[in-house]
Amino acid sequence: MKRFFAVAALVAAPLHAQAERPIGVETPSALHAALKDMGYAPEALDLSGAPSTVITSNDSRYWVVLGGCSDKKACKTLMIGSSFTDVMPPMEWVNKQNESFDLLKVWLNDKKQLAYSVQVPTSGITRPQLRALIDGLNNSSAQLGQDAIDAKLVK
């Protein structure tokens, strides 16, 4: 059975956000301003590659990257993710997690640490939807961490 990420929140958010206008996160500066206004205290924008920043939510640090950009604007996707520095699981365990979660992608980073991310289109996203996405990531991160503890993968 797939674990529920933020699908309900993303689907329900438009009902609560009908008066909300899209925040225009297709550009790095608009995304940065929205994250700051929402209380996530984003670090300075890094424009050396794909536009990115780092935010903190519930004592967790997440990288936020815009993708599919043309000249660092008109970006088409938003990816948010993080990794656990103390978990280095076998690939079989990672594959089982990917079968278990619905929108969350679980993988190993270049240091072989447990990493996870979610990617959504930027078009039309509102503040409630962005908050629901980050809240869903917080919940999934906690569940993924607990799964690693239960599997005795934490070093």
Query: How do the domains of the chain map onto residue ranges?
Result: 28-151
> Could you give the CA distance from residue 38 to residue 120 in angstroms, rounded to a whole number?
18
Q: Each residue of 61-116: pLDDT tens digit? A: 999 999 999 999 899 999 999 999 999 999 999 999 999 998 899 999 999 999 99
Q: Each residue of 110-145: pLDDT tens digit? A: 999 999 999 999 988 999 999 999 999 999 999 999
Choices 3.30.70.1450, 3.30.1460.10, 3.90.550.10, 3.90.70.10: CATH for 28-151: 3.30.1460.10
pLDDT value at residue 102: 86
> Could you give the CA distance from residue 29 to residue 63 in angstroms, rounded to a whole number?
15
Tell me the whole-structure pTM to 2 decimals: 0.85
